[in-house]
Structure formats: C-alpha cells, structure tokens
Amino acid sequence: MALFALRRLVLAIPLLIGITFISFLVIQLAPGGPFDYLRSEETGQDPKLVQKLNEEFGLDKPFHVQYWRWLSRIVRLDFGRSFQPDARPVLAKIGERLPITLFLNILQLLIIFTLAIPIGVASATRQYSLFDKITTIFVFIGFATPDFWLALLLMILFGVNLDWLPISGLRSLNYEYMTFWRQQWDFVSHLFLPVAVAAFGGLAGLSRYMRQSMLEVIRQDYVQTARAKGLAEPVVIGKHALRNALLPVVTILGLSLPGLIGGSIIIESIFAIPGMGQLMVQSVFARDYPVIMGNLVIVASLTLLANLFADLAYGVVDPRIRFSSRRRRR
C-alpha cells in the first residue's frame, strides 16, 4: 500500500505540471492585463508606465519564457507577490483566507454526511413510506432551490424580521470587547446561516445517493442470507448492508475533498465571508496572475492528494480492493 501511494505521488508530478501549464496559458489568453488599473479616467492610460511594469515583471516575454520563470520559482516554493497595489506575498493572501474556507467547508461536509447517511438509510429501508415520501419532496426542493435565493430568504427571516441571527460577516463589530464565551457564540451565530444554506443543497443530493445505494444492496442475496440466519434487523442493515452501500458514498467524499479549499463564491459573496472563493474571483477580475496561479497550484495539489486518499480509503472500506504495484485497480 505504501508503494502504491508512493507510485501515485510520483505520477502526480507531471500531471501537476500539465495542469499549471494549461492554467497559465488560459489566464494569459484572457484580454486585459494586471496593470490596467493604472488607467485613470482623467489622465488616460500612461502606456509608458504599464509597459515598464510589464517589463519589470517579465510580462512582455513570450509565453514559454514566462511559464518557465514561474515554474522555476514555484519549485523553490516562491509564489511571488500580488500585482495589486498592496503587493503582498501570495502566500500571505492565501494564508489569511484559507482557514475560514476550510473550516466552513469541513463543517458543512460533516453536517451533510452525518445527516444524509441516516436519512438515506431510513428512507431506503422504509421505501414508499410517509417518511420516504417526505424526504423525497425535501430532496427535490433542495435540488431546485438556488443557494443565493435561499440565503436571502433566510437572511430576511432570521436577520431582519426575527432578528435572531446576524446577517453577514464573521464577527460583530464589538467582538473585541466581548467575553471569551460571547465571542464563541458570536462566531457560531455568524456561521449558522451560511453553513445551513451550503449544507441544504448538498444534503439533498447525498441522501438520495445513499438511498439508492442502500436499495440496491438490501435486495442482494447475502442480505437475505443474513436475515435467514436470524440476525436482528439492525444488525442486518447496520453491519451487512450499510458497509457495502457506503462504497459509492466514499467516492463522493473523495470527490468533494478538493472543493474544501475552493470555497463557494456565491455563499461567500452573499454572506460577506472573506474566503478563498472571493479571493479567486477578485484576482481573476484584476488579472492578478501570481495569486491566481498560486491558488490553482494549491487547489490542484490538494485535488490530486484527495484523489489518492479516496483510493486508499476504498481499501479500508472494501476488502476486495488490493493495492498492487503491478496491476492497476480495476
């Protein structure tokens, strides 16, 4: 297994280079440059200045030279500085945004999984019952509700009309003057709506997967056998059926790991949360190449790592899967 992991890690390197190459190409294709902000409406653009800055940062060089320079810096873990007027190091910019996005997304993922699996199992074991019908309706509502719309409705209800929860941001203005426990509550109350909205859509999808997968499994012979042996129903479902039904869900978990650091631009914008999604969008609009690329490198690396972990996790939940350095997984 260790050998398998190592092999995959080595193979990931050319893949990563390929990803960054294409990304680098694509962002350069977009019209406009990082120093267009120097175009002032009263004075007109100062072409000399933009040209000079482009030279300073090597943006006047042909594409492959620029890419090579960037790559040789990045292998030394030099992510460079932002092209924005604040010129802050890329890693500092990402570093201050990453924790909150990670925290929100992990929280959201935990909620989705802890709720969706029991809901899916329950509606599969009681197929066509009232509970199943209600969850089906709930699921389709969840699929059909746009994030931003639900967010605004909840903000109006809980933030404006009832005044139970804060509307946006992460902390109240007088956060610094609060006691420790009040600070914690303040933070949690700010997270309540964004996490609820983000979880709602995902919950719907995942519980549906779980239900489907469970339905397939409980029709299998070995489940019949387990029942025929006289095992209690909770054991049949919990031990024999659930473990097999979880396999596709693990795949989904693996696929959702890279999303953890991506951040949701819609949720972050509406709730004014300074996370990775907002940083990425602002950087794209500003053509802030170092930040865009730094972001992409981190997201791409984590995606590859997450895929690897998902594959390894298969081995844990499915004894049929063996890792071998010779034969690739089926």
Q: Where along the sequence are the contacts to other proteins (CB under 8 A)?
A: 30-32, 35-47, 49, 52-53, 81, 84-88, 93, 96-97, 152, 155-156, 158-160, 162-170, 172-174, 177, 182, 185-186, 189, 268-272, 274-275, 278-279, 282, 287
Chain-centre distance for alpha carbon 184? 24
In angstroms, give the least distance from the CB of 274 to other proteins.
3
Contact by Cβ (8 Å): 274, 97: yes
Nearest residue (CB) to other proteins, 281 versus 305: 281
Query: Which of residues 4 and 81 has its CB atom nearest to other proteins in the complex?
Result: 81
Closest to other proteins by CB, 5 vs 100, is 100
| All residues at 6 or more sequence positions from 121 whose CB lies less than 8 Å from its CB, including other chains | 210, 211, 214, 237, 242, 245
In angstroms, give the least distance from the CB of 278 to other proteins: 6
Smallest separation, CB 46 to other proteins (Å): 6
DSSP string, 49-64: HHHHHHHHTTTTS-HH
CB of 291 vs other proteins, minimal distance in Å: 12
Q: What span, in angstroms and rounded, lies between the C-alpha atoms of 22 and 41?
A: 34
Q: Which residues pair with 44 in a beta bridge?
A: 40
Q: How far is the CB of 19 from other proteins (least distance, A)?
A: 24
Q: Which residue, 45 or 324, has its beta carbon nearer to other proteins?
A: 45
Q: Give CA–CA dist 109/257, Å, rounded.
A: 9
- Least separation in angstroms between residue 312's CB and other proteins is 35
Please say which residue, 201 or 275, places its beta carbon nearer to other proteins: 275
The phi-psi region of residue 328 (left if phi > 0; otherwise alpha if psi is between -120 and 50; otherwise beta) is beta
User: For residue 16, which of 80, 89, 74 has the smallest C-alpha distance?
Assistant: 74
For residue 149, the number of C-alpha atoms closer than 13 Å in the C-beta half-sphere is: 7
HSE (side-chain half, CA atoms, 13 Å) at 234:
1
**Least CB distance from residue 196 to other proteins, whole Å?**
11
Nearer to other proteins among residue 56 and residue 322 (C-beta): 56
Rg, the chain, Cα only: 25
Is 176 or 221 the residue whose CB approaches other proteins more closely?
Answer: 176
- Cα–Cα distance between 289 and 312 in angstroms, integer? 34
